[in-house]
Amino acid sequence: MNILFCDGGSCRKAGSEPVIREARAYLRNNGLWDKTHTIKTRCNGRCEDAPTCIVQKGNYWYKKLTANTIIPVLKSHLIHNKPIEDHLIYQDGWESLLSDDERPEITPKPFQYKIDDQLERCMLTKGFSSDQYLYPLFLFLKTVNENISLVLANGERYFFSELQDIEYTSTYTVTLHFKDNRVIHLIIGSVSKEEPLEAIQKKITSTEYFILEETNLRGIRFKDKLTRLCGMVYIPETATKTWEYCLNIQLKGATVNEKEYFNA
């Protein structure tokens, strides 16, 4: 049997570590250690039900676990081969999730006309800034050849056509390796309060998508927790594949009517 314990930020804040410790201690003391696997995972997307875990064999998702409730769950699966339904979010065959705190789906607001201090006259909307969006974004930009570039706050420019590797093995920092040994480190993952203050402040917390009125250039602007500019991704008007990806995947199907705002 495999037990996948969510170790994302929300679950840690809600007390996942004591749950994992109690589960592992129970398995060890009852001679079950070699017959089970307890695995810490990244966020499994059920932050509202934290702390959570998934029990396999089968596909049983548990919610709001505590050090006291995890042991009966384990016993029920190991001894009786069945779940405790009172603690379930979901199991195979259910048509919907059973969550006490289900959150409505968050979708970005429509593009709005703005006069921005940096971008000047433009259309602008906010996207998502978690690593569940930013890491896939960088992976996608590595695959397309549409003259997409990233300009850092210091003015250095990097072209994604020269991006050779993306490394995201640390807790919260993604590393972009470009040709000629040029390397960029960006903090995109959840940073706990125990981490250095500099890391907390440098985490990308604002991701904005824009269209410039004067040039029709599209792009993405990243800012950190202190609203300092981290970098700008520039997307030429001809980069239709990239822009469609941004609208449909990163912005969940956003539509934009430039003529309405720019009087084109």
Pick among 3.40.30.10, 3.40.190.10, 3.10.20.30, 3.90.650.10: CATH of 2-90:
3.40.30.10
pLDDT at 21: 97
pLDDT at 255: 80
Q: Tokens standing for 47?
A: 């932050």
Task: Answer for the pair 14, 66: CB distance below 8 angstroms, yes or no.
Answer: no
Interatomic CA distance for residues 208 and 109, integer angstroms = 11
Strand, helix or coil at 224? Answer: strand
Give the pairing of strands 163-167 and 2-6. Answer: unpaired
Q: Tokens standing for 262?
A: 């720019």
Interatomic CA distance for residues 175 and 169, integer angstroms = 9
Task: Answer for the pair 108, 99: CB distance below 8 angstroms, yes or no.
Answer: no
Task: Answer for the pair 244, 254: CB distance below 8 angstroms, yes or no.
Answer: no
User: DSSP code of 215?
Assistant: T
Could you tell me the fold of the domain covering 112-262? Answer: Heme iron utilization protein-like fold (3.40.1570)
Strand, helix or coil at 52? Answer: coil
How distant, in Å, are the alpha carbons of 19, 45, 142, 252 from that of 105? 28, 12, 28, 10
Phi then psi for residue 249, to 5 deg, are -100, -55
Domain ranges in the chain are 2-90, 112-262
Contacts of 229 (CB under 8 A, 6+ apart): 118, 153, 221, 222, 223
**Model pLDDT for residues 252-263, shown as the tens digit of each residue:** 998 877 666 555
pLDDT at 261: 58
Interatomic CA distance for residues 226 and 222, integer angstroms = 11
Task: Answer for the pair 220, 207: CB distance below 8 angstroms, yes or no.
Answer: yes
pLDDT at 160: 97
pLDDT at 107: 85
pLDDT at 204: 98
pLDDT at 263: 57
Q: What are the pLDDT tens digits along the chain (264 aa)?
A: 999 999 988 899 999 999 999 999 999 999 999 999 999 998 888 999 999 999 998 899 999 999 999 999 999 999 999 999 999 999 999 998 999 887 777 788 899 999 999 999 999 999 999 998 999 999 999 999 999 999 999 999 999 999 999 999 988 999 999 999 999 999 999 898 889 999 999 999 999 999 999 999 999 999 999 999 999 999 999 999 999 999 999 999 988 776 665 554
